[in-house]
Amino acid sequence: MGRGGVSKDRSDGPERKCIATGEAQPKGGLVRFVLGPDAMVWPDVMEKLPGRGAWVAANRAAIDLAVKKKLFARAFKAPVQVPPDLADQVEAQLLRRLIELISLARKSGAAVAGYEKVKDWLAKEEARVLIQASDGSERGKTKLSTPHFGTYVGWLSSDELGQAFGRQSVIHAAVASGGLSQRVVEEAHRLKGMRMTDGDTRRREG
């Protein structure tokens, strides 16, 4: 799997229809929204809030379109209020969720940080996900290659990645196969949709 690619098993599971694009796709690529008792639309990244849900593709353009075209009112068949920073709320929730998952992987011994540790895991083929800070040195990052059939994540800052490891900052990290790795990949790709556009340049596969 090349850098920026999506894991194939992410296509498994139930599908939902995006109210903005009209396309049906697996839930892993969408964000659920619910209508609160105050008629306010709220993102439900964890998919645990009660009530009927409306689904939007996990990218900023789709969410902005749903707001602009008043598609949430149509989906819920009721008057609604939409926060002006709805897309930012989604990004913040997805970031928090991803940091939590990487932290859980670290605590279970399934994630490591630091150039030498990551390099060792890659050499031993223990890593499934290579994570590198977006603000890290490009020269240093190109010395490590994405695991074969693995996934590359490069849209977290060093401060954000550091939060997952209880450090001030982290440039290089890896998550092992199994356990939480698939959930890390799914949340990372949803966050990517909120942060990157088609015009963003992608780093070459190492």
Domains of the chain: 8-83 (3.30.1230.10), 90-195 (3.30.1330.30)
Of 144, 134, 150, which Cα lies nearest the Cα of 202?
Answer: 134
Question: What pLDDT is attached to residue 12?
Answer: 59
Q: How far apart are CA 184 and CA 12, in angstroms?
A: 16
Of 90, 121, 99, which Cα lies nearest the Cα of 170?
Answer: 99
Of 118, 110, 108, 103, which Cα lies nearest the Cα of 175?
Answer: 110
pLDDT digit of tens for each residue in the chain (206 aa)?
Answer: 344 444 434 445 789 999 999 999 999 999 999 999 999 999 999 999 999 999 999 999 999 999 999 999 999 999 999 999 999 999 999 999 999 999 999 999 999 999 999 999 999 999 999 999 999 999 999 999 999 889 999 999 999 999 999 999 999 999 999 879 999 999 999 999 999 765 443 433 33
Of 46, 70, 54, which Cα lies nearest the Cα of 19?
Answer: 54
Cβ proximity of 27 and 14 under 8 Å = yes
Q: How far apart are CA 84 and CA 20, in angstroms?
A: 17
- For residue 144, the Cα-to-chain-centroid distance in whole angstroms is 21
- pTM value is 0.87
